[in-house]
């Protein structure tokens, strides 16, 4: 176990549904990340939160909405998704320090299927 948990592990949703992915880290880290992993594509960084503030958003469509209520929890709210959004969504955390290595620890992922 890496100390990062994600729920649910699997999710099937229609294009009109609204759902949320949850991530929790038990490592005392101050930065959290959402990644999208699609088959045969590089790992895509979606959002980064450091000290509960969003510091990076790599041009992700607005149908994905992150929320970081505290340093241990991260959510990804989903609405009106498209079939091409089907992927493995990975959460990670790290201890973010100036000039630090940012070694990231990943959760097991949520396998999302959009019908």
Partner 1 sequence: AQSVAQPEDQVNVAEGNPLTVKCTYSVSGNPYLFWYVQYPNRGLQFLLKYITGDNLVKGSYGFEAEFNKSQTSFHLKKPSALVSDSALYFCAVRDIGGYQKVTFGTGTKLQVIP
Contact residues for partner 1, defined by CB under 8 A: 2, 4, 6, 33, 41-43, 45, 48, 56, 90-92, 99, 101-109, 111
Distance of CA 100 to CAs 56, 65, 82, 97, 104, Å?
Answer: 17, 28, 37, 5, 11
Whichever of 10 and 16 has its CB closer to partner 1, that residue is: 10
Q: Which is nearer to partner 1, 60 or 79 (CB)?
A: 60
Q: Rounded CA gap, 14 and 2, in Å?
A: 31
- Least distance in Å: CB of 28 to partner 1? 16
- By beta-carbon proximity to partner 1, the closer residue of 34 and 64 is 34
Tokens matching residue 20? 């949320």
């Amino acid at each position: 176990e890496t100390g990062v948990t994600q729920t649910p592990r699997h999710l099937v949703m229609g294009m009109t549904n609204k759902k949320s992915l949850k991530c929790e880290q038990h490592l005392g880290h101050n930065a959290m990340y959402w990644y999208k992993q699609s088959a045969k594509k590089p790992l895509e960084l979606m959002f980064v939160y450091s000290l509960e503030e969003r510091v990076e958003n790599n041009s992700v469509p607005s149908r994905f909405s992150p929320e970081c209520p505290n340093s241990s929890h991260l959510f990804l709210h989903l609405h009106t998704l498209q079939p091409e959004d089907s992927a493995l969504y990975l959460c990670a955390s790290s201890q973010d320090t100036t000039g630090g290595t940012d070694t990231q620890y990943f959760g097991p992922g949520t396998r999302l299927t959009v019908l």
